[in-house]
Chains A and B, each alone.
Chain A
Amino acid sequence: MRRYKLQYWHLGILAIVLVLLVSWGANYLEISIPRPFNFLHTVTAPLHRSVTWVGGRIGNIRSFFTEYRDFHEDRRYYETRIAELERELRISNEVYLENERLRNLLNFEQRVNFVTLGARVIGFGSDTWGHTLIISRGRRDGLLPRQPVITGNGYLVGQVEEVYSNTARVTMLTNPGFVVGGIVQRQDSRALGMARGVPLEEGLYLMDNFSWDADVRIDDIIITSGMSEFFPKGLAIGTVKTLEIGDYGLTQRAGIEPFIYGCTIEEVLIILGKWGEEE
């Protein structure tokens, strides 16, 4: 009888099968198992931070030389713009104070701000499919899966997907599996739909399930509707750029341009607290 001789590649195949069986089994039985290579995240995070820091410095030096010519024009533009914004801010303050007074009159309770935590983007997903970010905060900082992630100016970035000790992985809103309820931010519309990370054409993503008679226009701004358990109302998603009839005339579909652009995000905020909580 021929004797079986164990070879290295047999062990390799056995290891792969074991990993697959364990992960499928855990998934099937809905058991949460610690990822066996979680510690590698902890080990490699400082390296990613360093590379990102060095890359940022090099980028700054390069941009000083390449963009010097534009500085003067930019300065003139921003001076004008600041003056305009200061004027708008004064008007907004008036509106805010008026709103406060009306709320008090109507006995409305005031909304609290979101409890947020800042994080640096230290890496991105390792393939072109997933559209994910690696951020410098993790379980030790109080992060939990499904918490919303935004930029400093309130643009929706995505949602925490997996949390490790010191880092976390965020699914961006441009990931094909990402879905969030959206609403048109126009006082006379407020049409509801579903914003998805499904790409349509260069830079545009699908927003569907608008009712057939919904008042949606090009350049409308879409914000989160707040109907989802996981996203507070009012986070800016993007701008409507295309419109078409879907589902044989029963619905409308829009192509929206997100406010975020993946490779330029450097810092994000994670919303930790209960949103929309009343004081």
Chain B
Amino acid sequence: MRAIIGKGLVLLLITLTQVSILPRLPLGNLQPDLFLIAACCWGLISGSRIGLGSGFAAGLLQDLYGTGSNIFIKPAIGYLSGRFEGKIYKESIAFPPMIVFGASLFSGIITYLVHEEFLFNLSFGYAMWEIIIPGGIVNAAVAIGGYPLLFWLERKMEERPGGVYR
């Protein structure tokens, strides 16, 4: 229960940052997708099931203010990232940014393909080089700091009063 409440609070914080703070900064297309980073990291830390659930919550919240396709992209990202759980060292800080970069490319390409206003108005080259790849690099860079932070929070939330991990 603590983990769910904790994730809910983190998602609320991410929503406020993503919607009210980051767009005020003159970043242009270089805004990180904090929802994607969170879904991906939670999948890597806790596995497919948690990744799917938290991805669904993140996608739902993002679609309140977004394009409308995140509700199925983010759970897929959470689930697929969760498939790597147990295959990497959770303390590793090199591997998660690579997964986040791959997830960003996947998310960007699917977003481009499922929205006709992007598919018919933006060339694929423009979308890749101006939006998807720069976004992926920024997401990976943010994940270098974001993954250890979420991992630390996850450990804190799972800590029992006796100091034993679940």
Contacts and interface: CB of A to CB of B under 8 A. Distances in A.
Contact of A176 (B12, B15, B21, B122): B122
A48 B26 CA distance: 19
A12 B67 contact: no
Interface string A28-70: 0000000001001100100110011001000100000000000
Instruction: Say whether chain B's binding surface is mostly helix, strand, loop, or mixed.
Output: helix
Contacts of B122: 176, 198-199
Contacts of B15: 44, 126
Interface stretch (B45-53, B85-93, B148-156, B158-166): B45-53
A59 B21 CA distance: 11
B126 A199 contact: yes
Given A12-B52, A16-B72, A129 B65 contact: no
Contacts of B79: 9
A123 interface: yes
Interface in B87-127: 111, 115-118, 121-122, 126
A20 B60 CA distance: 12
B19 A12 contact: no
A128 B31 CA distance: 7
Nearest to B108: A129
Contact of A129 (B28, B60, B115): B115
A24 to B, nearest CB: 11
A177 B118 CA distance: 7
Contacts of B71: 16, 19-20
Nearest to B33: A127
A48 B22 CA distance: 12
Contact of B26 (A13, A59, A263): A263
A166 to B, nearest CB: 13
Contact of B66 (A37, A51, A125): A125
B65 A125 contact: yes
A228 to B, nearest CB: 17
Contacts of A13: 52
A177 B117 contact: yes
A127 B23 CA distance: 9
Contacts of B72: 16, 20
A82 to B, nearest CB: 28
Nearest to A200: B126
Given A19-B71, A20-B72, A199-B130, A128 B135 contact: yes
Contact of A8 (B19, B31, B49): B49
A196 interface: yes
Given A9-B48, A123-B19, A55 B64 contact: no
B60 A9 contact: no
Contacts of B33: 127-128
A154 B64 CA distance: 28
B121 A263 contact: no
Given A129-B115, A176-B122, A134 B49 contact: no
B19 A176 contact: no
Given A19-B71, A126-B64, 13 more contacts: A8-B53, A9-B53, A20-B72, A44-B16, A123-B65, A125-B19, A126-B66, A127-B111, A134-B19, A177-B121, A197-B121, A199-B130, A263-B25
Interface of A: 7-9, 12-13, 15-16, 19-20, 37, 40-41, 44, 47-48, 51-52, 55, 59, 122-130, 132, 134, 169, 175-177, 196-199, 262-263
20 contacts: A9-B48, A9-B49, A12-B49, A37-B64, A44-B15, A44-B16, A47-B12, A48-B16, A48-B20, A125-B23, A126-B18, A126-B62, A126-B66, A126-B70, A127-B33, A127-B111, A129-B67, A176-B117, A177-B116, A263-B24
